[in-house]
Chain A
Amino acid sequence: MKNGPENQLAIITVILLAVVAFTFVSEILGATPFSLPSRPPLEKFLWTYRGLDVIIQGFIVFAAAAAVAALFRVEKGLGAVEEVAIEGELEKEEG
């Protein structure tokens, strides 16, 4: 993994997102390690009403990201096409 500015920015963003998520979710799970000022219990509603749908929708976003990454992947160097070593030519059999 190359150490460029993009990687460091990505790592910082992921850490920040993890802290935000932990702050919101910890109140639902009942474990509050540090006392925050009291807020209206909105997060409990947002995260638990139809919570299963929201969680599975999160996995849909993951599957869509994997799909787009798979459909735009570059094989063996910039722009090279994988050798057609797998299923042979089809042009002559469209009869």
Chain B
Amino acid sequence: MEIPLLVQPLVILFSTAALTPLIDIVGKQAKAEKIRDIFAIAGFGAAFYSLMSLHWAISSTGPQTYILGTFGVPAGGVQLTADLLSVYMALIFCGIGLLVAIYSVRYMEVDSGLDKYYALLLTLVAGMIGVAFAGDFFNLYVFWEIMCISSYTLVSFRKYRWEPVEAGFKYLVMSTVGSLLALYAISLLYGFTGTVNLKQLSTMISSGQISASPLSLYFTIGMIITGFGVTASMVPLHTWLPDAHPAAPSSISAMLSGVVIKTGVYAICRSLFTIFSPASFDYGTVLMIFGILTMTVANLMALMQRDIKRLLAYSSIVNIGYILTGVGIGAYALSHYSSLKLATPIAIFALMGAMFHILNHAVGKGLLFLCSGCFVHEAKTRDIPELEGIGRKMTWTGTSFSIGLLALAGVPPLSGFWSKLFIILAGFSLPEDSFMKFISILVVLNSIFAASYYLWLMQRIMLKEPKPKIASAVEAPASMLLPIVVLAAVTVVIGIWPGAIISLAESAGRALLGG
């Protein structure tokens, strides 16, 4: 039976997830327990290869769609759509998932219940790839929920301590209410138009044939931003993140900070830009204001932290602020200057910066959380004053940690510099609009402020004398070092030759506007 290329990654990941408990039983009988780890890594590898061939297919022939069964779109059937933005996000999700699975082989080996861990990790990545490929709003919600259920459980995975369960419960309540708000928005859109397909919603709303006042459509936009913004950790809704990310096992913290919160930003972008055309609805202002608020509040809170993973969690919120500001600049340019010929290139430029920053932050924050997992694994503490100088004892991990911190701070030869530069330049590109200039100045100030505590953290971890308590720390094992070194190398390579990734991000931004 020939499986179409579009659904191959989903089929591979879901079937691997279903088979992992069986392989675990086989492995336990044969006294070779690592079989299930190798099986999960093979599943991720096969899905990544299939996504690469899908990317090649889409770049040559255009967006692909898939409908299961005989009910077509007008009758209410489900459609999966993959354009360049979807496959760009899916490649990031699957790549980080593969590296986290390789890291988890040694990191999680003292835990029990690992077959369920790998099964849930596979369904987490499968759910995220499904969100990226969804062409139907309710289908997006269903994939979103499978991602959320896997992530609630993985946060509370080490349930024998109080911290993961408390953080997991808080995360579950807040994130479920957020998803339900988005579902309420879906039901309102269904009430206005009679369909839940994204393309059909866009044609029906832009043609103006539906009996809905602009106020009710803006109410729906607000529900979508709030609902998906809980998972994307926008500022008034972010309070679950600094508790959930430190409490999760470090490999899962890397997944959460690196890719799960980006899925929230992707869902906001995809649903708003596709359904509500940016030329007729103004949601750029709201996204920019919330982006600046997110950045500023999280920067101030990050300075006060003593726990290394909590500081990295707050810095994830700051970077989501950059991405939302970039998206907001794009939407603002399209809605306020729709008559200007320059508006579309500016919007594509801003969206390109935001998409590039998604990749940079996924790689960089994944790297930072995996390194901090190694540090905490050796030192048995998460307190920064006690972890001082551990980078000198664990040289490979410490160097990669410093590369990650410099990259996220925006230091030039590394990758973070380019994406922040694009977002700031896009804000300055319309000189007569003082609101956009003000927002860009705030982005620059927040960027400098964030660089200050990244460099402070690097100084404490790498350049101070180690305390006697951690004097016996040894370097992490090779299979935990491999993903760390790969991510650091990717950061350096993208920083020096950003051309390929810039063209990928630009085509992704163009696909978001043109689709």
A interface residues (Cβ-Cβ under 8 A, vs B): 1, 44, 47-53, 55-57, 59-60, 62-64, 66-67, 69-71, 73, 75-76, 81-88, 90, 93, 95
- Residue of B80, B130, B380 with most partner-chain A CB within 10 A: B380
Set of chain A residues within 8 Å of B160, measured between Cβ atoms: 75, 81-82, 84
**In the complex, what residue of chain B is closest to A93 when comparing beta carbons?**
B383
Query: B18 near A73 (CB under 8 angstroms)?
Result: no
Question: A residues within 8 A CB of B113?
Answer: 69-70, 73, 75
The 10 lowest CB-CB distance pairs between A and B, nearest first, are A48-B69, A88-B380, A67-B153, A70-B116, A52-B78, A73-B113, A75-B112, A66-B116, A63-B123, A51-B69
Other A-B contacts than A82-B112, A87-B382, 20 sampled, CB-CB below 8 A, are A47-B69, A49-B71, A49-B75, A52-B78, A55-B68, A56-B139, A59-B146, A60-B146, A63-B153, A66-B119, A66-B123, A67-B152, A70-B113, A71-B159, A73-B116, A84-B161, A85-B110, A86-B111, A86-B377, A88-B376
Q: Which residue of A lies closest to B124 (CB)?
A: A63
A60 to B179: give the CA distance in the assembly, Å.
15
Residue B14 at the chain A interface, CB threshold 8 Å:
yes
A86 to B108, CA, bound (A): 9
Taking a contact as CB atoms under 8 Å apart, the answer to whether A59 and B111 are in contact is no
Whether A67 pairs with B80 at a CB distance below 8 angstroms is no
Q: Which of B77, B112, B161, B307 contacts A76 (CB 8 A)?
A: B112
**Interface size of B by Cβ–Cβ distance < 8 Å?**
51
| Contact for A50 among B77, B159, B306, CB less than 8 A | B77
A to B CB contacts below 8 Å, 14 in the list: A47-B69, A49-B75, A50-B78, A53-B142, A59-B18, A59-B123, A66-B116, A67-B116, A82-B110, A82-B111, A87-B382, A88-B382, A93-B307, A95-B306
Residues of B within 8 A of A81 (CB): 160
Q: Cα distance A56–B112 when bound, in Å?
A: 27
Q: Is the CB of A59 within 8 A of B158?
A: no
Which chain A residue shows the least CB distance to B307? A93
Q: How far is the CA of A84 from the CA of B120 in the complex (A)?
A: 23
Cβ of B213 within 8 Å of any chain A Cβ, yes or no, is no
Given A59-B123, A70-B117, A73-B112, A52 and B80 contact (CB-CB distance below 8 Å):
yes
B383 cross-chain contacts in A, Cβ below 8 A:
93
A62 touches B17 (CB 8 A): yes
Interface presence of B226 (CB below 8 A): no
| CB of A91 to closest CB in B, whole Å | 10
- Write out the residue numbers on chain A whose beta carbons fall within 8 Å of the beta carbon of B163: 90
- Smallest Cβ distance from A68 to chain B, in angstroms? 8
Q: CB-CB < 8 A to B120: which residues of A?
A: 63, 66-67, 70
* Given known A-B contacts A48-B70, A93-B383, A64 and B149 have beta carbons under 8 A apart: yes
Beta-carbon contact of A52 and B139 below 8 Å? yes
Q: Which residues of A contact B152 (CB under 8 A)?
A: 67
Chain B minimum-CB-distance residue to A48? B69
- Chain B residue nearest to A70 (CB atoms) is B116
Q: Which residues of B contact A60 (CB under 8 A)?
A: 142, 145-146, 149
- Which chain B residues lie closer than 8 Å to A52 at the CB level? 68, 78, 80, 139
Give A21 to B149 CA distance when docked, in angstroms: 27
Query: Once bound together, how far apart are the Cα atoms of A48 and B160, in whole Å?
Result: 43
Residue contact B149 to A50, C-beta cutoff 8 Å: no
Q: Give, as a whole number of angstroms, the nearest-CB distance from A71 to chain B.
A: 6
A4 CB to nearest B CB, Å: 16
In Å, the complex CA distance between A60 and B149 comes to 8
* Chain B residue at minimum C-beta to C-beta distance from A49: B71
